[in-house]
Structure 1
Amino acid sequence: MVGDRMPAVDQLVDAHVHLWDTAAMRISWFRDDLGLPRRVAPDDLAAAVATAPVTVRAAVAVQAADTETEARWLARQAGAHGPLPGPVVLQYDARPDVPDAWAGMAQPVIDDGVPVAGLRLAVPGGAADLSDVAGLDRLCEGLAATGRVLETLVRPSQLPGVAALASRHPALDVVVCHLGLGAGEPDRAWRDALAGLAARPRVHAKLSGLHRAASDPAVADEAARVAAAVRAAVDAFGAERLLFGSDWPMSARVAPYAEIVDRTARALPALDDAGTTAMWSRTADRLYGGAVPFTSPG
C-alpha cells in the first residue's frame, strides 16, 4: 500500500462513501458553491476506487440526507450494482406521529424488506447530551434487536452523550463517524471524550473525514495533525475497533481517492497483521453484514 505500513493488505472495505442525484431527490444541504457534482452514481464510485493502490472490495454507502425517496434510491443503487457500493446505512429522522416507527423515516423502507445495515444519527448541531433526539432509546432497541448498527455524526462535545447512550444499550454496536472530530484539532478535551467512548466495548470509530486540503491557510502541518488524531484513536480503541472510510466524494474536494487512502496509511502507527486487516476490512465485514453485494430490492 504505502511504504512498509501494510505489506499483508491487498484489499480493503471503504466504510464511508456517499451517492446522490439532485435531480431525483432533494439534498437539503447541497449548494453549488460546495464544488460537488450534482449526481454521484455507482459508476463514479467504481472509477474513483479503481485508482486506489489496493482493491476496494466493497463500500458502505451512507445516506446523504434524510428523505424516504433518497433512501429508496440509494438502496436501489446498492442492489443493482454489485459490490460497489454494497451495504447501506440510512439516516435517522424521527417520526413520533407513527407509534411503531422505531426507525423513523427509514421504517417503511425496512418494513418493505430492503436490506439496511444500519441507521445514522446525524445531529452535530443538536444538544450535547443528545436529549433533543426524539425516540433515541427506542431506535437503539430496534437496531440491537435486528442486528443493525447505529452510526453517529456528532461534534466532539457530544461524544460523552454517545458514550452514555452506548452504556444504556450494551447489546448495540455503535460506530462514530469521522472520530467525532472531522477536520478539527485533536485537543485534550476531544482525547478525553474519545477515551471515555472507547471504554464502551461495542463502540467503534471511522478513520474518515479527517483530512484538510494542504492549501488550507489554517493548516500548519496537516500530516502531523491527522497522525495525532489517528494515534489517539488507535491508543483508545485498538486497531480492531477502527474502520477506514474515505468520505468520498466529499473528500474529493481535498484530494483524489488514492491520496486519501495514502494519507490515512501514512497517519497510522505500526500495526500487527491482525490489527491491519481488521482496520482495513475485517471490522467492516463484521459490523455491516459481511460487506457483500445485496440482492436488489427491486
Structure 2
Amino acid sequence: MAPHDGADRLVGDRTDGIVDAHVHLWDTAAMRVSWFRDDLGLPARVGPDDLARAVATSPLPVRAAVAVQAADTEGEARWLARQAAAHGPLPGPVVLQYDARPGHDDAWAGMAQAVIDDGVAVAGIRLAVPGRAADLSDVAGLDALCEGLAATGRVLETLVRPEQLPAVAVLAGRHPGLDVVVCHLGLGAGDPDASWRDALAAVAARPRAHAKLSGLHTTAPHDAARVAVAARAAVDLLGPERLLFGSDWPMSARVAPYAQVVERTAAALPVLDGAAATAVWSGTAARLYGAGR
C-alpha cells in the first residue's frame, strides 16, 4: 500500500477527527528525565507549541492529545499538568507515571499522589515496568494502585513487554471495575507472533481492557506488513471500540513525521465503517480520558 493510501483510508472511513491518545512533552532544563541522552536524537525540550506544529500536518484534524508523563518525578508531573492547564486540549488530559519508591509507599498513587491530592486533573496513571518480573510480582502496591484508580474513575495504563501481558490480564480480572489500557499493544517494535497474540487475547478477555495502536512503527524496510499483522490482530481480539490511536510523538518522529505515522497506522488497519473508525481515532480516547469533548 502506497504511503498516501493511509490518508485515503482515513477519509474513506469518515472519522470524526483524531484524539491522539499518546504524546510526550518534556524540558530537560526544567526537570530530570532519567532516560534522556543526547545520542537518542531527541530535542532537549518538547513543548505545546512543538506539539501544535506537529499535529497541524495531520491528514485529519487532531482535536486533543493525551499527554503521558515521560519519566517519574513529581516535578515533571507538575510541569506536565501546568502545560495541559495552560494549553489544553493540545495537550489535554494527563497520565502520570507510577513510582512506588520508598517515600511513596503510603499512597495508592505513589509519586503522583501529592499531585492528585492538590486537585490537579489527572486522567490516569501509567505503570511502566517492562524491566520487571513477568508476573509483576515485584511491583509494590499494585493492587492498591488499581483500587485507587477504580474508586476515582481513572485509567490504569501499562507499558509492558509481551511476556507480561498475561499478568496484566490477571490484574484486570482482579479489578473488574477498572479500565486498563495497554500501551503499544504490549508489543512495540516486537514481532507479532503467536505467543504475543495469545497473550493479547488473554487481556482482551477482560471486558474493560483496551490497547493503544501506538509505538509500533520502525524504519525496517518491510515494517508495514509487520504492523498490519499486529493492528489487524488487535482489531480481531479487542474490536475497534477498545482500541485507541496514539502517535507516541515525539518518540515516533525518529521513525517518521507525524502525518506519516497517522497514515501508516491507517494503512495497517482493516477497512472500518464510520462508527468503528471513529472509535479507534477519537471515540475511545474521549470516553476513557474525557479528551476532545
| TM-score, with structure 2 as normaliser | 0.95
How many residues in Structure 1 have an aligned counterpart in Structure 2? 287
SS in 1 for 2:272: coil
**What amino acid is the match of 1:65?**
A
Residue 7 of structure 2 corresponds to 2
The AA in structure 2 aligned to 1:132 is: D
SS at match of 1:246: coil
Find the residue that maps to 1:2 and give its secondary structure. Answer: helix
Deviations 1:107-139 (A, max 9, x none): 000000000000000000000000000000000
Q: Choose the corresponding residue for 1:48, options 50, 54, 60.
A: 54
The SS at the match of 1:61 is: strand
Which residue number in structure 2 is paired with residue 295 of structure 1? none
**Aligned-partner Cα distance in 1 for 2:239–2:284:** 12
1:252 equivalent in structure 2: 253
Structure 1 residue runs of 4+, over 3 Å off? 95-100
Deviation (angstroms), 1:9: 1.6
Which structure 1 segments of 5+ residues have no match?
293-298
Could you tell me the TM-score, scaled by structure 1's length?
A: 0.94
CA-CA distance at 1:105 after TM superposition: 0.1
Structure 1 counterpart of 2:3? none
- The answer to whether the aligner puts 1:118 opposite 2:124 as a matched pair is yes
Among 64, 69, 77, which residue is 2:83 paired with?
77
Partner amino acid, structure 1, of 2:209: V
Structure 1 vs Structure 2: percent identity of aligned residues?
Answer: 78
Checking the alignment, whether the CA contact within 8 Å between 2:16 and 2:278 is kept in structure 1 is no
User: Once the two structures are superposed, what CA deviation does each residue of 1:38-96 show, in whole Å capped at 9, x if it has no partner?
Assistant: 00000000000000011100000000000000000000000001310000000000155
SS of the residue 1:3 aligns to: helix
Q: Does 1:235 align with 2:240?
A: no
2:66–2:291 Cα contact (<8 Å) kept:
no
Residue type of the alignment partner of 2:248:
D
Q: Which residue of 2 aligns with 1:165?
A: 171
Assess if the C-alpha contact under 8 Å between 1:87 and 1:291 holds in 2. no
CA contact (8 A) 2:242 2:280 kept: yes
Mapped partners of 1:37, 1:139: distance in 2: 32
Q: What is the DSSP-based 3-state SS (H/G/I as helix, E as strand, rest coil) of the residue aligned with 2:59?
A: coil
Is the CA contact (8 Å cut-off) linking 1:42 and 1:85 kept in structure 2? yes
Tell me, what secondary structure is at the counterpart of 2:244? strand
CA 1:98/1:17 → structure 2, altered by over 3 Å: closer, same or farther? closer
Choose from 141, 152, 172 the match for 2:147: 141
Q: Which amino acid aligns with 2:247?
A: S
Deviation of the 1:174 alpha carbon:
0.2
CA distance in 2, matches of 1:270, 1:17: 25
Matching of residues 1-298 of structure 1 within 5 Å: 2-7=7-12, 8-95=14-101, 97-98=103-104, 100-213=106-219, 216=220, 219=221, 221-292=222-293
Give the Å deviation of 1:290: 3.8
* Stretch of structure 1 that moved more, 78-87 or 140-149: 78-87
CA gap 1:99/1:10 in 2 versus in 1, 3 angstroms: closer
